[in-house]
Every structure is written in C-alpha cells, then in structure tokens.
C-alpha cells in the first residue's frame, strides 16, 4: 500500500487483485443479499481508492481495509432499507410507476461555472455525472439507462468528477 501511495500502479493493481477474494468473502458474510454483493465489493474498492491517503504504513493494514469494507456494507444496507421503505410507501399511497420518465432536474441550481465545466466534459462522463447527480438516479438505474455495466458507469462518473474538479479549481 505504501508503494501505491507513492504512485506505483503495478503494485497497486497486484494489491487490489490479491485483496479481491478477501473483500468478497468479508462482504458476502455480512450481506444478506448475494445479488448486491458484487456491487458492494466494487464500492469497497472505490472507497479504498479514495481513502488510500489515510493508510499509515506503521499501522496494520487489515483493520484499515475491513473498516472501509464494513462501512460500505453498512451504507448498502441503509440504502436498501431506504429504498424498500420508499417503495412500500409508494405502494401504500397507490402510486403507479410513471409511463414517462420524470424530467431532468432544472439547471437553475447550477452555477454558470459548473454548467460550463459540465459542457466541456466528454459526452460519456457528462452523462454519468448528470444521471447520478442531477437526475439523482441510483448507479444501477443510471447504468440501465445508458446500457452499460454499473462498474463502467462508476468509472465514467469518477473520471467526470475528477475532470470537473480540475476544471473548477484550475
């Protein structure tokens, strides 16, 4: 991990590949829903990537990694509970699935700088960011809308956020 913090991609790739079965086992044991497992495993690795600067070489690696995995699993459980609660409440209210998709969120909430930065993104990245953040779709819904896998959508969104940040800060 220390090599990965220094920017060694090959070491990082090796580490992630070696961790994959451990993370799958950990998530699988804690998650009741096997269909969601791979999604959570991917979230764990995205979280690990974003939190990699918080690892200190003098500390044991296991508690750091499994704390991230535990948080991702908990987030998944909470999100699922919220979704189920929302669906139950809609069913109770007699609300049916709309035949026409809802309109996109209005642009008035966006600053002109952000709109310009969004326009400068490649189409695939802009679409991923807009679906998740402006239309507030879940990753699965956004991926289904675009017709790609969830992981591909996450990668596009991740690159989109990075490019947006670079444009807004630059």
Partner 1 sequence: MSTQSTEQLLSELARDLTPVRPIARLRSVLLGAAAIWLLASLVHWALGAPRPRTGAWGDPAFVAILVGLALTGAGALLTAVAAAVPGRDAAVRKGRGATLAGALLAFGAGAWAVALAEPQGTPASGFGPGLSCALRASALGVLPALLLCAFLARGVAQRLSLAVVFAAVGGLALGAVTVHTSCPYGGALHALLAHALTPFVAALWLALPLVGLTRSWAGRRSGPD
Are the beta carbons of 122 and 157 closer than 8 angstroms? no
Q: Which is nearer to partner 1, 2 or 88 (CB)?
A: 2
For 15, phi and psi rounded to 5 degrees?
-60, -50
Answer for which of 30, 55, 141, 146 binds partner 1 (CB under 8 A) is: 55
Answer for which of 28, 51, 124, 135 binds partner 1 (CB under 8 A) is: 51
Name 106's Cβ contacts closer than 8 Å, sequence gap at least 6: none
Buried b (16+ CB within 10 A) or exposed e, 15-37: beeebeeebbebbeebbeeeebb
Q: How far is CA 95 from the centre of its chain?
A: 29
Q: Which is nearer to partner 1, 2 or 95 (CB)?
A: 2
Name 107's Cβ contacts closer than 8 Å, sequence gap at least 6: 115
Residue 141 Cβ vs partner 1, minimum distance, rounded to whole Å: 14
* Residues 60-89 as x/- pattern, contact with partner 1 by CB under 8 A: x-xxxxxxx--x------------------
Check residue 41 for interaction with partner 1 (CB under 8 A): yes
The residues that touch partner 1, with contacts defined as CB under 8 A, are: 2, 4-10, 12-13, 16-17, 20, 35, 38-39, 41-42, 45-47, 49-57, 59-60, 62-68, 71, 149-152, 154-155, 158-159, 161-162, 165, 169
């Amino acid at each position: 991990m220390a090599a990965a913090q220094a920017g060694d991609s090959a070491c990082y790739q090796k580490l992630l590949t070696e961790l994959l079965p451990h993370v799958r086992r950990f998530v699988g044991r804690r998650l009741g829903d096997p269909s969601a497992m791979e999604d959570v495993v991917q979230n764990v690795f995205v979280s690990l990537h974003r939190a990699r600067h918080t690892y200190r070489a003098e500390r044991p690696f296991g508690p750091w990694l499994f704390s991230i995995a535990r948080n991702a699993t908990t987030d998944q459980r909470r999100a699922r509970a919220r979704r189920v609660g929302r669906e139950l409440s809609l069913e109770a209210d007699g609300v049916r699935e709309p035949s026409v998709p809802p309109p996109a969120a209005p642009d008035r909430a966006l600053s002109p700088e952000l709109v310009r930065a969004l326009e400068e993104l490649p189409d695939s990245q802009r679409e991923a960011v807009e679906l998740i953040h402006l239309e507030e779709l879940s990753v699965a819904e956004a991926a289904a809308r675009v017709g790609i896998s969830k992981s591909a959508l996450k990668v596009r969104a991740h690159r989109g956020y990075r490019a947006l940040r670079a444009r807004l800060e630059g």
